[in-house]
């Protein structure tokens, strides 16, 4: 039987509608969530991401300020700018578009963001807080994955979750979030000896490797929930995930497509974190 396809656009649309109401609520109290986006250089992919974020902000009633510094800008200049944004009461969220040029120490730049404005959830204090079950902000992609599981009432507690990939932005945080919710979590990497031996045991399989269609139907347990985080641009210009969607959808219970799966959720959860940051600032007034 063919799997239930988890439509990320539909779930994101629902969440965006709720966010709009929350933004209107803030407006009634004379407040608007403000998100500052820092972009250094002119990497084409980063420029597209930043444009998409600014558009999503407009649609969600969030005011965005994009600071595009030339690629040769010094780290000190960007740090000073972050300090000024930290002190600006009209800015509730700050994000630095990664990757930064090679002369930057990304960890120092991220660590300069005030933790209550760290809407990407990448500040080392927020990473530590996530590990101890007290996250101030969940990183956007894993947060989106959890919202998709919630939307479909996927049982997490007591289930075996296998995460393929250990990046700081996807693999590690989603593993911690599933662990926090009571799953038994296995994390696989490029060094894992026989990957299929692990993936075949997964009730929930989350794949974030950047390797097109590497998870095939024989690697998936019948009825499993398969979340494909990968976004790969193929030579013919089409996008595909890390999961072989065509074969795996015949075996899985639930599956996310690419495009139209986790992708639209990521930016939506950024909007959610930005609204949340403003609501907290208001509550603290
Ligand atoms: P990274 O390159 O940072 O990490 C990839 C991970 O996959 C590494 O931990 C690597 O292992 C592991 N890996 C690579 N090959 C294999 C393999 N053959 N078997 C098992 N593990 C393997 O990638 P990201 O986490 O940043 O991104 C992963 C994918 O998700 C990309 O396609 C990216 O575009 C997409 N993405 C999508 C987002 C969305 O919004 N939908 C957001 C962020 C990312 P090792 O550590 O041993 O090298």
pLDDT in tens, 147-156: 999 999 999 9
Distance from C-alpha of 52 to C-alpha of 56, rounded to nearest angstrom? 6
pLDDT in tens, 197-217: 999 999 999 999 999 999 999
Q: How far is the CA of 145 from the centre of ligand 1 (A)?
A: 15
* pTM over the 0.85 mark: yes
pLDDT at 95: 97
Delineate the domains of the chain, giving CATH numbers in brackets.
Answer: 30-114 (3.40.50.10860), 140-263 (3.40.50.720)
Asked if the model's pLDDT at residue 249 lies above 80, the reply is yes
Is the Cβ atom of 98 under 6 angstroms away from ligand 1? no
Segment 213-226 mean pLDDT: 98
Mean pLDDT value across the chain: 97
Which atom, in ligand 1's list, is nearest to the CA of 166? 9
Asked if the model's pLDDT at residue 72 lies above 80, the reply is yes
Q: How far is the CA of 90 from the centre of ligand 1 (A)?
A: 35
pLDDT tier for residue 285 given thresholds of 50, 70 and 90: confident
Contact status, residue 76 vs residue 109, Cβ threshold 8 Å: no
Closest residue by CA, ligand 1 atom 22: 190
Is the Cβ atom of 193 under 6 angstroms away from ligand 1? no
Contact status, residue 277 vs residue 93, Cβ threshold 8 Å: yes
Closest residue by CA, ligand 1 atom 41: 263
Residue 21 backbone phi and psi in degrees, to 5: -65, -40
pLDDT tier for residue 48 given thresholds of 50, 70 and 90: very high
Q: In testing the pocket of ligand 1, which one of 9, 11, 170, 239 has its CB within 8 Å of the most ligand atoms?
A: 170
Q: How far is the CA of 9 from the centre of ligand 1 (A)?
A: 22
Is the Cβ atom of 256 under 6 angstroms away from ligand 1? no
pLDDT in tens, 255-279: 999 999 999 999 999 999 999 999 9
Distance from C-alpha of 116 to C-alpha of 125, rounded to nearest angstrom? 10
Q: Which residues contact 144 (CB under 8 A, 6 or more apart)?
A: 8, 12, 262, 265, 266, 268, 269
């Amino acid at each position: 039987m063919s799997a239930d396809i988890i439509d990320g656009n539909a779930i994101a649309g629902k969440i965006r509608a709720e966010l709009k109401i929350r933004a209107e609520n803030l407006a009634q109290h004379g407040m608007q969530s403000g998100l500052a986006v820092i972009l250094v250089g002119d990497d084409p992919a980063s420029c597209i991401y930043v444009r998409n974020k600014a558009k999503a902000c407009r649609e969600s009633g969030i005011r965005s300020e994009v600071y595009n510094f030339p690629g040769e800008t010094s780290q000190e200049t960007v740090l000073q700018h972050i300090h000024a944004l930290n002190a600006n009461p009209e800015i509730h969220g700050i994000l630095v578009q990664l990757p930064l040029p090679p002369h930057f120490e990304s960890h120092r730049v991220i660590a300069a963001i005030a933790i209550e404005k760290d809407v990407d959830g990448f500040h080392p204090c927020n990473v530590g807080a996530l590990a101890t079950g007290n996250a101030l902000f969940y990183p956007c992609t894993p947060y989106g994955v959890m919202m998709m599981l919630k939307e479909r009432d996927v049982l997490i507690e007591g289930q075996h979750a296998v995460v393929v990939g250990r990046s700081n932005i996807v693999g590690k945080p989603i593993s911690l979030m599933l662990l926090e919710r009571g799953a038994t979590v296995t994390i696989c990497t490029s060094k894992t000896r026989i990957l299929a031996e692990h993936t075949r045991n997964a009730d929930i399989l989350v794949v974030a490797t950047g390797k097109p269609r590497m998870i095939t139907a024989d690697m998936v347990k019948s009825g499993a929930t398969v979340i494909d985080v990968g976004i790969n641009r193929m030579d013919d210009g089409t996008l595909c995930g890390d999961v072989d969607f065509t074969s795996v959808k015949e075996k899985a219970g639930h599956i996310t497509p690419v495009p139209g799966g986790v992708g639209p959720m990521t930016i939506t959860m950024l909007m959610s974190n930005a609204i949340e940051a403003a609501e907290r600032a208001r509550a603290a007034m």
